[in-house]
Structure 1
Amino acid sequence: MLTLDQLRERITLPNAAERMGLTKVSDNGEQQLWKRAHAERPEITIGVKHDVWRDRDNQNGGNIIDLAMWVFDVDYPAANKKVHQLYFLPFLTLPEETEEATDDMAKLSYIAGKSLEDQERCRVYLKNERGIPDHIITEGIKQKTLGWTNYTNPNVAQGEPHWGGEAVSFITYQPNTKMLAAVDYRYYVPELNGGMKTKSLGQKNGVFWMLDPRALRQAKTVYVVEGPLDALSIEAAFSSDPTTCAVALRGTQVQVNWQLFLGKTVICCYDKDEPKPDKRNPTGPDRCYSAEAEWRIHEGCLAAGVPCFFVDRSEWEYGQDANDVYKDSQSKEPFKKREPWLIPGLAGNSEDKPHKPRLWLPTHDYQQYWKYRVKDDFTSMAKMSRDDDGQEKLEFVDVAGFRVAGLSRVEIASASATTTGEHDDSPHVQFVAMYQTARHDEALQRRVMNDEQLHNLDTWRKSGPIYNPRAFSRMLNIFERTIGIGSVQAANFVGLCYLAGKPKVNEGKDCFFTEPAQQSPYHNFAFPRGMRGHAGQVVEAYQETFKDNAAARALVWIVGAQLKLYLGFWPHFIMQAGKASGKSTLLKRLSRTTGMKILSGQSIGTEYRLMTSVSGTSHPVGWEELSAKKADVIARAVSLLQESYNYTETTRGSAQTPFLIAAPVLLAGEDVPVESLTGKTVRTDLSNRKGPMLNESLPKFPMYEWMEWLAKLGRKTVQENYEIAQQKCKAYNRAQDNDKGADRMVDNYSALMTAWRLLTAFTGIEDVNGDFERDLIAEMNSHISDTTNDRDPWIWIVEIIMDEIAAGRYVYPYVFECEPHNDKEPRYLCVRVKHMMAHLSTSVALREKYNNMPVKTARVLKHQMEQAGVIHNDSVVRSINGTRSGHMQQLDVKKLEQYGISVTAPETLRAHREPML
């Protein structure tokens, strides 16, 4: 949405008055008198020099928005929108940061600043009361994550909650940045503060406290604890190990993006709290809330592909936390001891007080469960035996050379629900196994299986060796009880899609393909991330590298392809360029900037490879030099592109593997032979437009942030902006009113204009930057003009028949006729449409062309020719070679030439006459 100043810069009041339907009565050069259509005399005066207006009674007046309010009798927002619609301007209301949020952030920054003024005073408490070594405290002071405060609330009495007092401050920053997120207090004397030990200010979810926020980058092992004091204790215990760090979630209900921990091992070490009665179910079993917090962490890590283990706290006393244990031991050994059980949080044997378990196992399963033991990437089984003295001893038998970390149910949304957001009537259930192997270090691997594959050991052997098949099968049977742990809803689609009725950015890791490499070219793809401010820099660089926005159109087309979710279609893109025009270089830079894959000719050599290259994603792919392929490959490619203009679901193979044909395709080359696809493409031409080279340091386009922004916009907002862009493209369209093929091309370029306008709103640049819309409309009109004769199937068929007649291969009756006064030029061609289709379908040389034609019946062909106006007379009778031929169509040769169809006629022509009765 443009500001008032921007509107006044682009639009003059006299022009606006004319667009609003007012009539100019007089003009003396400085002032103009205007009136509404029903008025008898002038109603308003417009000052041309100062661009203001006032009415006859001096009761109304002002700027262009005020004029719209007066003319249409609406309020300010409606008038603003009306002005944007009259001039086809982008109208997008963006949510602005509230003053309250800004004030809260300023207050938090002030509190953090005050806490950092006297940091050293926190040392006494941390060292004497909590046993934290000096070098750890010094590091926290250096990193500005530790502070001190003695603030007291003057409005609260001492001993009452929120009074305050001396406290250690823990300053939390956004992950991997120095952006302030929260400040936490740990009070020295809680009794002075009404019994409150801690206080938290600022953001809770999505952030965590660390002694050194940068330590997470190099860490291999990350301990997750409840509070900052526990994190300091872990840091002290492992101070000699730079690959180990600790994070404090600052609570038991905090949600964190566990994908930040990919490539690391997470070890949970929450407090050992005593079980308490369930507030919601007092008659039920007691609950241990700290243990349940660890279960949620484990599920989050499992979904993110991060290995997660629990510290074995069976020897801890109730009420102890990591800080208590460290003060007693001054060692890291208590924290290195992990739970050995198959399912983290579910002990095989325990002497702790009974409480609600993580999972209820039947007796026959629990009797076997305790035997299984796991390490990071190995599974074994306990076996009781006796030594030489007859004493029982525990031996371990190898079960598998990998560890099954989890087995979960996944509900895959149907293609219809994924692309429309409607209620899912046919979801598909699959199972996903997460496992860890030695060869993949600290990264969980994933295998998606159908129901019949779940107990097929040959499927599991693809993950690693199985030493004891019988014990492994019994273990899988136990894991079936955990199928609900980590169960998720998912969509097998890479790009912007619907999940549970809401738009979501889906990446390769979020999908659960059974045949990943075949079902999507982006099955392991993560969209480029970056700062939003880089987006404008990238757009402006592409506007400069080729003149007339030739390269910028390609960039906008790629990033705008995600709008397919809201529009229901997205055109393919033709990039034409002569030799040495910079096409190959531009394609490589587009691939680097957006992550788009450019597929070589070998990758699209068969129909199956063509299909797999456009399946399961809305992120575009590129095909180079399609014209160099065989005719049958080109024909199959064109057929596939017709389907991927929208969404098409299909299955292949005996296993009925699903494929969702959806990816837009960039077709690059000197010649792109896709005439039948003209109505579903937009184009750009790089010839003679090369400008300065793109800088090698140009950042990537922040695709992930852009798609998240689109997800928040929603379908309604995008559709409204598309309609405004469509109105502008139609207003400047040079095609004839009855050209239906041109109307679809206008829709395609309108979609591209919508993408540009949304992109300018995202980047903060103006929509007039670089005259993108002017160049886009010029390209649209050029494209429509150049392809007037290529858009209709009847033209292709008639051209083939004319070539057959010229070569003397057309065996059916036909005759050329001329006007009586001009026997040198052919005027009409008498031929039977049914014979034309018969010749096309029976000729061996034309068989391949006929198979690829969208029209295969004479009835449809005749109907299209009638609509085009090339049939001058229907059902005429002529005598040809001594044979009376009836039911012929008289084609107008002049009209055919207007459509670019060349006719080869004999030198001797028959004079035109009226049809025989």
Structure 2
Amino acid sequence: MNARLPNSELGQWFVQLKTAIDLHDLAERLGLKRQGGKGNYHSPHHPDSNASLSIFADGRGWKDWSGDAGGSCIDLVQFCRPELASPLAAAQLLGDWYGMPQPKPAMKERAEPARKSTLDYIGERCLAKAEGVIPYLAGRGIDEAVIRRAIQCKTLGWNDWHSAKVAAGEVGHGGAAVAFLVRSGGRLVAVDLRYVDPALNGGVKAQCQGEREGHGWCSDPARLKRARMVVIVESPINALSVECCASSDVAALALRGVGNVDSIDWTALRGKRVLVALDHSDPVNPATGLRPGLAAAWKLSEKLIAADIGHLLVDMQEWDEGEDINDVLQRHGKDVLTARLRKLEPWLVPGMPGGGERLEGTRRVQLPGHDFAVYWRFRVKEDFTQYVDEFKTDDDGKRSETLGDLCSFRVASLSRLRIQSHLATISGAADHQPETVFGISAQLARHGTVLHREVATDDKLYNLEWWKGRFGAIWKPAQFQRLVNLMERAADLGARDVVNFVGLSWKAGALAAQEGQDCYFIEPQKQCLYYNLTFPRGTQQQARTVIQAYQDTFRDNAAAIVLVWGLGTHLKNLLGYYPHFQMQAEKGSGKSKLLESLQTTLAFQVLSGQMLKTDHRRRASVSFTSQPVGWDEFSKLPKTVLSDIDALLQSTYRFEFTRVGASLTPYLMCAPVLLAGEEVDAQSLQSKLCRSSLSKERQGAIIPHDLPVFPLWPWLQFLADVEPARLRDLHRHYLGVCERHSRAPAGDATARRMMENYAALLCSWALLCEFADLDPQQGGFIEDLLAEMNSHIVDTDGSRLPWVWIMEILLSELEARRYDYPHCWDRVKHADGHTEMALFIRPNHVMDHLSTAPHLRAKFDALPVKTGRIFKNQLLQSPVVLADGVEKTIHGRRQGHLTAISLAQLEKLGLYAAPDIQR
């Protein structure tokens, strides 16, 4: 999208194109073949005997019935021209063809065009001469149609540059080379050059311009995205070779070198059928004793299993030594290559043959003789396992086997896991108490290509009922237990240290961002609300759009403050604490709509009051995550539940670890909570939360339905790179800002904690502006947050401290005449001669009354102060005590050690008393 062009103008232009362009005419321009001159059109991506693409709705709609593609003229252009990655690019092409150009931005000044990088310059030169690549690749057996499709997608080119300063035959001379253009997110990230004559370049066969790690190569990124099956190979030439014998729903992805296995993000392949076809038949490396391609396939298999991606390895055991995919295509043709790619390994441990000739460098696990003697009997398919019941060899030496069904799933991995302790997770300290469990990944028919994961302790590994309940049927129990025993030998494969935490936490002493799939909970649905959360991806521009929308929807940044709080919750393991959030709203002010939008924007959950009624649900909702949680209308819950909730929120201001039940299930309670409602009664939490108030007067523009989600995953990656020392300095800076602008007296310790909370939000805002490339003064956020902080401090001046809550209860008891301990009302004379009314009590008597009165039991249990000594200390630190250690005669008895409390000072805090002069 053009950021300078109003969305309304752009939308009107799109509508104009869709209504004015006849699709029959467009189909001719795109080169689609029509069946018999009339009727439907043949699909451009695969051969179809009967034309499958039809045009209807008076030439304004279309659909390819061989798939799910269809839509408008813009969709048809993208369907036929995959290199046009965005609807805007397709619309611009249509505008040029039909004389309806894109409206020009209403701006007088145009920005200077960005200077092209060296990489972009190289890429453009390679694409300009792309036709030169056809003879070379055709000589390697690759179909011209496959080559031209890659050229059309701008991923393949030709480079004929050579240096005039470096002589031929020396490194750096260059020469004719195939150029493979690597693209990611629509941008060019690298150009790989494969020289036709390496001798001219000093024997250097390949060279990379740009980023080497973290990106694979594919001929068509759009095809990879929609593919049903992906074949992973080593080199781009092998990828093109695979596409010569693959249908349109199959894509090939090249690693660009075996070292890239660790750096590529494989999560994009989740949900696709994956085949690993690296160069398994590479010669053995004398230094390592391994075949490099096969060793890379082993490592890749572990990576894919960790990402829950079901896969199998192509069986290359019978391939010639050193033979790769392109060699097979050149020597034997497409049919043979197709047959070989369909032959998959049947072995229990991926990449470790159990039969045939035992080649050097193929022993992935050193099995003892008695285990290897039965290992070959287990045969796997993608989501099924069989067992060789009988076998025999006839007189001609031919071997026959009888397979029986073992279980209805395939055990892809049984790996030893060390779960990091909670102290190391929240503080980054050395881990002294890791817990060892076993991660089991299996492919089940009901879950398709996504692996199903469970975590087992030692006592579960041979419990067949446990296996049946979580994975499926087991028809040969004894043989299945033998399978488990074999998998125990391979527990080191994929063994790793893991952290059970969703969000930003410490892992091995360094900050790391984690999603639900990275965690291994024993009981995930009970232990963490976000056990299956995948954080949204996105761009910096999307982040700016979201922030602007929330600043516009309520004035004074009332909604933006909530957004910044929700994004800053992931700083908790850096700061060591993080406040909860109180969002109060008038009736009809738009709270429900804002909550719905926040849930979508931040991918967090808001729980109803019904969900909060049981202790284990509340505990699970805030456990093992820094992702915020919303509690809506929780004030409607019974008082007994509210007191439990209060205790939980008090502890989760920082962290609390506990184990529950007979199985001692662990819980790390730490998630910051958003408290929403028309009346959020959080009196005891005022020093542990921030707030924002919504009202009708503050309402602004409604948040648009098409607002993008916030790119949380890039945001977490950004926070993971923040130096802890820098964050602490930033927090000290903003705490100083809060103190300079605070209306609280200097000695108010509770107000200082509130300022620390608001300083944490200002830290979040500063980092958010850095992430989204915004000015921190954007929209007056800092001024509005400081105003909200001062309003919060003033409004809660009389309700932040426990002694105030105790005095409020005491005054109610005095009014109801339920307080029987000695007390009296009298006037206290000051040094200047004036007098004021005071209440004379003994603090110990007050606490004794609260602790023994049955009707005050719930209130007493909720109080953080339980003794008269602490109550008296708090009174003496406040301005309400006129005198201490006073003696009075009450009902004819002399009472000492009384404390005189000023009624006038109590009234300033909103506490009102009605003196009983007779008493």
1:590 aligns with one of 586, 598, 609: 598
**CA deviation digits over 1:588-625, x for unaligned, max 9?**
11111111211111111122211111111111111111
1:428 aligns with one of 435, 450, 457: 435
- In structure 2, stretches of 5+ residues that fail to align are 1-113
Tell me, yes or no, if the aligned pair for 1:598 and 1:622 is still in contact at 8 Å: yes
1:654 aligns with 2:662: yes
Tell me, yes or no, if the aligned pair for 1:272 and 1:318 is still in contact at 8 Å: no
1:326 aligns with one of 317, 324, 329: 329
Match of 1:535 in 2: 543
2:300 aligns with one of 297, 301, 316: 297
Paired residue type of 2:668? L
Q: Select between 831-840 and 393-402 the one with higher mean Cα deviation.
A: 831-840
CA distance in structure 2 between the aligned counterparts of 1:272 and 1:763, rounded to whole angstroms = 45
Match of 1:53 in 2: none
Secondary structure, in 3 states, of the residue corresponding to 1:585?
A: helix
2:750 aligns with one of 732, 741, 744: 741
1:843 aligns with 2:853: yes
Deviation at 1:820, TM superposition (A): 8.2
Deviation at 1:724, TM superposition (A): 0.9
1:114 aligns with one of 125, 128, 140: 125
Tell me, yes or no, if the aligned pair for 2:441 and 2:451 is still in contact at 8 Å: yes
CA distance in structure 1 between the aligned counterparts of 2:285 and 2:193, rounded to whole angstroms = 29
Match of 2:637 in 1: 629
CA distance in structure 1 between the aligned counterparts of 2:423 and 2:663, rounded to whole angstroms = 21
Tell me, yes or no, if the aligned pair for 2:282 and 2:323 is still in contact at 8 Å: no
Deviation at 1:433, TM superposition (A): 0.4
Secondary structure, in 3 states, of the residue corresponding to 1:641?
A: helix
Paired residue type of 1:655? S
1:361 aligns with 2:372: no
Paired residue type of 2:670? A
Tell me, yes or no, if the aligned pair for 1:384 and 1:392 is still in contact at 8 Å: no
CA distance in structure 2 between the aligned counterparts of 1:370 and 1:820, rounded to whole angstroms = 99
Paired residue type of 1:575? M
Paired residue type of 1:831? I
Match of 1:169 in 2: 179
1:833 aligns with one of 843, 847, 855: 843
CA distance in structure 1 between the aligned counterparts of 2:728 and 2:502, rounded to whole angstroms = 22
Number of residue-to-residue matches in the alignment:
797
Tell me, yes or no, if the aligned pair for 1:410 and 1:489 is still in contact at 8 Å: yes
2:792 aligns with one of 779, 783, 789: 783
**CA deviation digits over 1:269-316, x for unaligned, max 9?**
223545435326xxxxx3211211111111111111112211111221
Match of 2:680 in 1: 672
Secondary structure, in 3 states, of the residue corresponding to 1:314?
A: coil
Q: Select between 659-668 and 319-328 the one with higher mean Cα deviation.
A: 319-328
RMSD: 2.2
Match of 2:913 in 1: 903
Tell me, yes or no, if the aligned pair for 1:173 and 1:209 is still in contact at 8 Å: yes
CA distance in structure 1 between the aligned counterparts of 2:393 and 2:416, rounded to whole angstroms = 44
Tell me, yes or no, if the aligned pair for 1:574 and 1:667 is still in contact at 8 Å: yes
Secondary structure, in 3 states, of the residue corresponding to 1:114?
A: helix
Structure 1 residues 277 and 188: CA distance shift in structure 2, 3 A: closer
1:124 aligns with 2:135: yes
CA distance in structure 2 between the aligned counterparts of 1:140 and 1:871, rounded to whole angstroms = 84
Deviation at 1:644, TM superposition (A): 0.6
Tell me, yes or no, if the aligned pair for 1:275 and 1:353 is still in contact at 8 Å: no
Tell me, yes or no, if the aligned pair for 2:352 and 2:362 is still in contact at 8 Å: no
Paired residue type of 1:309? L
Tell me, yes or no, if the aligned pair for 2:282 and 2:293 is still in contact at 8 Å: no
Tell me, yes or no, if the aligned pair for 2:351 and 2:362 is still in contact at 8 Å: no
Secondary structure, in 3 states, of the residue corresponding to 2:889?
A: strand
CA distance in structure 2 between the aligned counterparts of 1:484 and 1:179, rounded to whole angstroms = 39
Q: Select between 759-768 and 622-631 the one with higher mean Cα deviation.
A: 759-768
CA distance in structure 2 between the aligned counterparts of 1:249 and 1:747, rounded to whole angstroms = 48
Deviation at 1:683, TM superposition (A): 0.8
Match of 2:170 in 1: 160
Paired residue type of 1:108? L
1:766 aligns with 2:765: no
Match of 2:425 in 1: 418
Match of 2:461 in 1: 454
1:312 aligns with one of 312, 315, 320: 315
CA distance in structure 1 between the aligned counterparts of 2:584 and 2:285, rounded to whole angstroms = 72
1:797 aligns with one of 799, 806, 830: 806
Q: Select between 375-384 and 182-191 the one with higher mean Cα deviation.
A: 182-191
Tell me, yes or no, if the aligned pair for 2:826 and 2:917 is still in contact at 8 Å: no
1:444 aligns with one of 442, 451, 459: 451
Tell me, yes or no, if the aligned pair for 1:601 and 1:623 is still in contact at 8 Å: yes
CA distance in structure 1 between the aligned counterparts of 2:539 and 2:386, rounded to whole angstroms = 47
Tell me, yes or no, if the aligned pair for 1:816 and 1:826 is still in contact at 8 Å: no
**CA deviation digits over 1:78-129, x for unaligned, max 9?**
xxxxxxxxxxxxxxxxxxxxxxxx99x82222222221122222211222x2
Deviation at 1:392, TM superposition (A): 6.2
Query: Aligned ranges for residues 385-784 of structure 1 at < 5 Å?
Result: 385=391, 393-461=400-468, 462-687=470-695, 688-784=697-793
Runs of at least 4 residues of structure 1 off by over 4 A? 385-392, 819-826
Q: Select between 330-339 and 813-822 the one with higher mean Cα deviation.
A: 813-822
1:204 aligns with one of 190, 206, 212: 212
Tell me, yes or no, if the aligned pair for 2:281 and 2:317 is still in contact at 8 Å: no
CA distance in structure 2 between the aligned counterparts of 1:593 and 1:900, rounded to whole angstroms = 40
Structure 1 residues 109 and 388: CA distance shift in structure 2, 3 A: closer
Structure 1 residues 126 and 385: CA distance shift in structure 2, 3 A: closer
Deviation at 1:880, TM superposition (A): 2.0
Tell me, yes or no, if the aligned pair for 2:284 and 2:360 is still in contact at 8 Å: no
Tell me, yes or no, if the aligned pair for 2:294 and 2:362 is still in contact at 8 Å: no
Tell me, yes or no, if the aligned pair for 1:160 and 1:194 is still in contact at 8 Å: yes
Secondary structure, in 3 states, of the residue corresponding to 1:835?
A: helix
Match of 2:243 in 1: 235
Tell me, yes or no, if the aligned pair for 2:229 and 2:249 is still in contact at 8 Å: yes
CA distance in structure 2 between the aligned counterparts of 1:272 and 1:775, rounded to whole angstroms = 62
1:138 aligns with 2:148: yes
Deviation at 1:632, TM superposition (A): 0.7
Tell me, yes or no, if the aligned pair for 1:233 and 1:326 is still in contact at 8 Å: yes
**CA deviation digits over 1:376-411, x for unaligned, max 9?**
000001122469999963100111100000111111
Percent of residue pairs identical: 40
CA distance in structure 2 between the aligned counterparts of 1:189 and 1:764, rounded to whole angstroms = 47
CA distance in structure 2 between the aligned counterparts of 1:274 and 1:583, rounded to whole angstroms = 63
Deviation at 1:824, TM superposition (A): 14
Tell me, yes or no, if the aligned pair for 2:428 and 2:510 is still in contact at 8 Å: yes
Paired residue type of 2:373? Q
Structure 1 residues 274 and 771: CA distance shift in structure 2, 3 A: closer
- In structure 1, stretches of 5+ residues that fail to align are 1-101, 281-285, 910-917
Q: Select between 893-902 and 858-867 the one with higher mean Cα deviation.
A: 893-902
Match of 2:354 in 1: 348
Paired residue type of 1:849? K
Deviation at 1:356, TM superposition (A): 5.8
Structure 1 residues 602 and 350: CA distance shift in structure 2, 3 A: same
Paired residue type of 1:362? P
Deviation at 1:907, TM superposition (A): 4.8
**CA deviation digits over 1:819-861, x for unaligned, max 9?**
6899999712222222111111111111111111111111111
Query: Aligned ranges for residues 30-69 of structure 1 at < 5 Å?
Result: none
Match of 1:812 in 2: 821
Paired residue type of 2:527? Q
**CA deviation digits over 1:745-774, x for unaligned, max 9?**
111111111111221122222111211111
CA distance in structure 2 between the aligned counterparts of 1:475 and 1:441, rounded to whole angstroms = 22
